[in-house]
Every structure is written in structure tokens, then in C-alpha cells.
């Protein structure tokens, strides 16, 4: 039942996402990251995990490059059924990932996720109780159970719902930031 509900929400959000232009997504993303830059948790953070965004996600490329010289940025690399974490060392060091074709760092794997201060997490949808609906592979849920980092969910306004179905393994965010808040 829950899996069917999640599948239906994913289909609905995809339809909504498909009608928003890349330019609009980039503009909305700037609003989201401006809010993040104002957070004390961000200001205090030295090691931040982000993600190299796909076309249907909050756009991170500019934000990562803006902060890469000031903060240590970690990006995930999809390997099998889990995320491997690697430091971002520059756009020229990204390689096309096997699973989603996303840019992934090519460096060594970070094994201690306890050092991460803040994680910025993508989604298909979030709800107003800070629950997250991902793509269904539980990559982030597996990772987020291993860290005490402050978790920020980022989404466009159409991805923030009143509620999303939640499983036992789903990890809640500390805060969710959308482009209209």
C-alpha cells in the first residue's frame, strides 16, 4: 500500500517537474541556497555533503563551485546499492557515474561520515513534517542513519506536500527548504 502511494506521488511530481524550465529551476535554486547560506548551521559547517544535481533536482552546480574553496565539499558516488562519499576537487575531476550518468568525484572514498557537519539532500518530495520521499532506492536513508550531520532537505515548491507516506527506514530531515519560503 505504502509503496503504491509512493509510486503514485513520484509520477505526479515528475509531471509537475517536466513543465518547469531549467532556467526557472536555476532561479528557484538560487532562492533556496540563499536561505541555506543564512542558516547558522551552514555558517558553522566546515564539511558539507551535497549532490551534483540532475535536471529534475534543485540545481547545485553553482553553489558547489561557489563554496568549494571555503568549505570542504563531499559528493556521493552511486556504487551498487549504496553511496560512496568523495571530496569534490573541482569540476574537471568529475566523472560520469555508472548508475545515473551524474558527475561524480573521482578521488578516494571517505569512510568516516561522522566528520560531515551538514548534508543537503535532494528528493522527489518532502512533507511539512520534514519527511522525505526519494527515488525508491534508499541510498540516502542508508547513509543518513550513519551520521549525526544536520540534514537539510531542498525542494521546489511543487515538491513540498502536506504529507508523504513514510516507512520505518525513512530518515527525517532537520529542516526542509523550498524556493518560496
- Tell which residue, 99, 107, 141, 106, has the closest CA to residue 123: 141
User: What's residue 101's pLDDT?
Assistant: 67
Tell me the residue length of the chain: 181
pTM to 2 decimal places: 0.93
What's the total number of domains in the chain?
A: 1
User: What's residue 113's pLDDT?
Assistant: 82
**What CATH number has the domain bearing residue 150?**
3.40.50.10420
Which residues of the chain form beta strands (DSSP E)? 47-49, 72-79, 82-87, 94-96, 103-105, 109-110, 118-121, 125-127, 132-133, 150-155, 160-161, 175-178
Structural domain span for residue 10? 2-76+114-178
pLDDT tens, residue by residue, 82-98: 788 999 998 888 877 66
In a domain, 155, yes or no: yes
pLDDT tens, residue by residue, 137-173: 777 888 888 889 999 999 999 999 999 999 888 899 9
Average pLDDT, the chain: 90
CA dist list (Å): 138 to 88, 100, 129, 174: 23, 15, 19, 18
In a domain, 94, yes or no: no
β-strand partners of 178: 155
- What integer is the mean pLDDT of 18-25? 95
In a domain, 90, yes or no: no
Quick check: helix, strand or coil at residue 155?
strand
In a domain, 96, yes or no: no
In a domain, 98, yes or no: no
- Tell which residue, 71, 73, 127, 132, has the closest CA to residue 105: 73
In a domain, 95, yes or no: no
In a domain, 108, yes or no: no
In a domain, 123, yes or no: yes
Amino acid at each position: 500500500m505504502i509503496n503504491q502511494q509512493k509510486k503514485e506521488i513520484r509520477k505526479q511530481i515528475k509531471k509537475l517537474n517536466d513543465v518547469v524550465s531549467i532556467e526557472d529551476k536555476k532561479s528557484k535554486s538560487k532562492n533556496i541556497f540563499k536561505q541555506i547560506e543564512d542558516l547558522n548551521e551552514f555558517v558553522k559547517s566546515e564539511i558539507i555533503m551535497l549532490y551534483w544535481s540532475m535536471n529534475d533536482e534543485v540545481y547545485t552546480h553553482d553553489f558547489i563551485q561557489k563554496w568549494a574553496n571555503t568549505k570542504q565539499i563531499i559528493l556521493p558516488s552511486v556504487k551498487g546499492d549504496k553511496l560512496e562519499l568523495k571530496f569534490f576537487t573541482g569540476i574537471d575531476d568529475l566523472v560520469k557515474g555508472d548508475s545515473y550518468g551524474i558527475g561524480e568525484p573521482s578521488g578516494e572514498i571517505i569512510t568516516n561520515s561522522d566528520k560531515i557537519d551538514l548534508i543537503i539532500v535532494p528528493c522527489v518530495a518532502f512533507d511539512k513534517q520534514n519527511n522525505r520521499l526519494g527515488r525508491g532506492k534508499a541510498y540516502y536513508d542508508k547513509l543518513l542513519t550513519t551520521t549525526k550531520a544536520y540534514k537539510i532537505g531542498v525542494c521546489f515548491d511543487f515538491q513540498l506536500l502536506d504529507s508523504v507516506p513514510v516507512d520505518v527506514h525513512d530518515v527525517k530531515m532537520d529542516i526542509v527548504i523550498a524556493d518560496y519560503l
